[in-house]
Amino acid sequence: MTLGERTRPDFPILSRQIHGHPLVYLDSAASSQKPRQVLEAMQRYYERSHANVHRSIHTLGEEATELYEAARDAARGFIGARFREEVVFTRGATEGINVVARAVANMLRPGDEILVTEMEHHSNLIPWQMVCRERGAVLRAVPVSGAGFLDMEALARLLSPRTRLVAAAHVSNVLGTINPAADIVRRGREAGALVLLDGAQAAPHLPLDVAAIGCDFYVFSGHKMLGPTGIGVLYGRRETLERLEPGMGGSEMIKEVWIDHAQWNELPWRFEPGTPPIAEAVGLHAAVEYLEKLGMARVEAHERELCRLTLEALETIPGVTLYGPRNPEVKGAVVAFNVEGIHPHDGAALLDERGIAVRAGHHCAQPLMKRLGIVGTLRASFSVYNTAAEVVRLAEAVEGLRGAL
Amino acid sequence: MVYSSVIRERFRRPRLRGELPRPDLAFEDVNPLCGDRIRIECRIADGRLSDARHRGDSCAICAASADLLLEMVIGRTVEEAAAVEPAALLERLEADIRPTRFRCVTLPLSVLQGALEGREVAL
């Protein structure tokens, strides 16, 4: 039995019918579905253990705190961080990048540079535009080749002593390209820059070892990796986090407060003001356990096979254009494509009529769309619960798209 | 049915797609949801919209909406043209447009209004 067939019964939503067809959910890169184990863990938490964390001196408060902090330990293990204080809970990858951007803004001077890439999701672009404009810093971008790879020679050229931070996707949410994370980090750090990797499309699909990658920051979202919405992780190297001023203030992030000043709390709580998403952390913990039980190497192999089957099926269909690397070995679990004469939104609406959920549009990567000279694409993306039979249904439906309007 | 025969027909064989040489008014804008861009060019004579064309990269719903809209307003006064309601367009499209695609229908309307108000195109 394949991973997809084995895991499907755990995902209640997958038994839905859409417009009279069994749901084929191929939009996990936008948000994955949740297994029963995650839903039940959150339900159990609210029914048995909910209270506010950290300063509640009663049984429920202690249980909630234990569950919340246990989720941090699970996340630490999942990404290979060395210390639990390196794991900051956020609302998601976007918030993680903004937390870093606010903190880094304090260190930026006019003329300093931040280096991004042309394939960034808007989440890893707009925060840097904002801090650059605010501090008079310069934003530069590493170009992407026609085949969908980062131009690493250009990256080397663009790095300079003025580069204060490099922000790059680990895996592109459109092209699927797995960027050479360790190489980017090595070059960035050699130039004296901090390096942030956006792992939103990597954490759900690949075995991770952030300590080995060596980045200063790594962010991802729970809801793309079988967990709930409203929780994500900002990993920060301890040495780097210690140097940063928090950008957001409130309770929990302080040690002692006077009317006109305060002393910051220890890591990681310094970056977690306010009551955190406790139930969501519990859900994320269950999602991590679910993925670890499957084994991330097997998850990766399963999704790579689906990606390979999809590329093979789509490239034989007349009128289909594929974007990004063709070799599934260097690609994450996404396949972006267009059908001649069919706008991506029309394509997605027509596929939906057959029960197939795909993403359509610019995928929050408008500079990349401009670079490719297109308005948008269709995008099929995979998770543990997808099957080869679903790829066949997608291919059949795509075949019928040309001339459908 | 999202794609009514009206939408399919207008998308395949638009009647007013193209450009006007030296238009009196022109405006274009994007749909932030999808990045689609529509441009509408108008000719005005005696306070009336004497001719108009649309073009751009857009989905079938948006293209059909633009084509129908221009057909509805050519010959009308500028005030009448600017006052077309989305409901009137929706009715003419004869389609089951869901909220996620509503902006595809109304983008041509706001672009036409932008043109008639003489708004500047922000690029």
Residue whose tokens read 């204080």 = A85
* CA B24 to mean position of chain CA atoms: 17
List active site positions of A: 364
**Cα separation, A176 vs A9, whole angstroms:** 27
**DSSP string covering B36-88:** -EEEEEEEEETTEEEEEEEEEE--HHHHHHHHHHHHHHTTSBHHHHHT--HHH
Q: Which of A122, A126, A346, A374 to mutate to test the interface with B (most CBs of B within 10 A)?
A: A346
Q: In the predicted model, what is the mean pLDDT of chain B?
A: 92
How many Cβ pairs closer than 8 A exist between chain A and B? 44
Write out residues in chain A with pLDDT < 70, as ranges.
none
Fill in the DSSP letter of residue B17: B
- Phi, psi (5° rounding) for residue A312? -60, -40
* Position B122 confidence tier, pLDDT thresholds 50, 70, 90: low
pLDDT of residue A348: 96
pLDDT of residue A1: 87
State how beta strands A24-25 and A356-357 pair. parallel
Are B3 and A346 an interchain contact pair (Cβ–Cβ within 8 Å)? yes
Tokens of A302: 């399963």
Measure B9 CA to nearest chain A CA, in Å. Answer: 8
- The C-alpha angle A312, A315, A321, rounded to 5 degrees, equals 140
Closest CA to A239 of A218, A255, A217: A217
A36 within 8 A of A12, measured Cβ to Cβ: yes
Q: What is the pTM of this model?
A: 0.94
DSSP H or E run through B106: helix B102-116
Q: Does B101 touch chain A if contact means CB atoms closer than 8 Å?
A: yes
Residue whose tokens read 């407060």 = A257
**Cα separation, A357 vs A267, whole angstroms:** 41
Q: Which residues of A touch B60 (CB under 8 A)?
A: 343, 346, 405
CA atoms within 13 A on the CB side of A99: 29
pLDDT of residue A92: 98
Measure B59 CA to nearest chain A CA, in Å. Answer: 5
Are A376 and B35 an interchain contact pair (Cβ–Cβ within 8 Å)? yes
Closest CA to A271 of A96, A45, A142: A96
Tokens of A149: 């790879």
Q: Which of B8, B33, B35 sits opposite A369 (nearest CB)?
A: B35
pLDDT of residue A304: 97
Note the ipTM here: 0.87
What does the pLDDT look like over B47-99, one tens digit per residue?
A: 999 999 999 989 999 999 999 999 999 999 999 999 999 999 999 999 889 88
Q: What is the 3-state secondary structure (H, E, C) of chain A?
A: CCHHHHHHHHCHHHHCEECCEECEECECCCCCCCCHHHHHHHHHHHHHHCCCCCCCCCHHHHHHHHHHHHHHHHHHHHHCCCCHHHEEEECCHHHHHHHHHHHHHCCCCCCCEEEEECCCCHHHCHHHHHHHHHHCCEEEEECECCCCCECHHHHHHHCCCCEEEEEEECECCCCCEECCHHHHHHHHHHCCCEEEEECCCCCCCCCCCHHHHCCCEEEEECCCCCCCCCCEEEEECHHHHHHCCCCCCCCCCEEEECCCCEEECCCCHHHCCCCCCHHHHHHHHHHHHHHHHHCHHHHHHHHHHHHHHHHHHHHCCCCEEEECCCCHHHECCEEEEEECCECHHHHHHHHHCCCEECEEECCCCHHHHHHHCCCCEEEEECCCCCCHHHHHHHHHHHHCCCCCC
Q: Does B60 touch chain A if contact means CB atoms closer than 8 Å?
A: yes
Q: Does B104 touch chain A if contact means CB atoms closer than 8 Å?
A: yes
Q: Which of A349, A353, A361 sits opposite B35 (nearest CB)?
A: A361
Tokens of A390: 């679903």
Q: Does B15 touch chain A if contact means CB atoms closer than 8 Å?
A: no
Are A366 and B35 an interchain contact pair (Cβ–Cβ within 8 Å)? yes
Residue B123 confidence (pLDDT) above 60: no
Residues 6+ apart with CB under 8 A from A292: A77, A78
pLDDT of residue B31: 86
Strand partners, A339: A320, A342
- Packing angle of the helix pair A278-294, A36-44 (nearest 10 deg): 150
Q: Which residues of B touch A361 (CB under 8 A)?
A: 33-35
Residue whose tokens read 């790059």 = A168
Residue whose tokens read 């300079």 = A160
Q: Which residues of B touch A345 (CB under 8 A)?
A: 34, 36, 59, 61, 101, 104
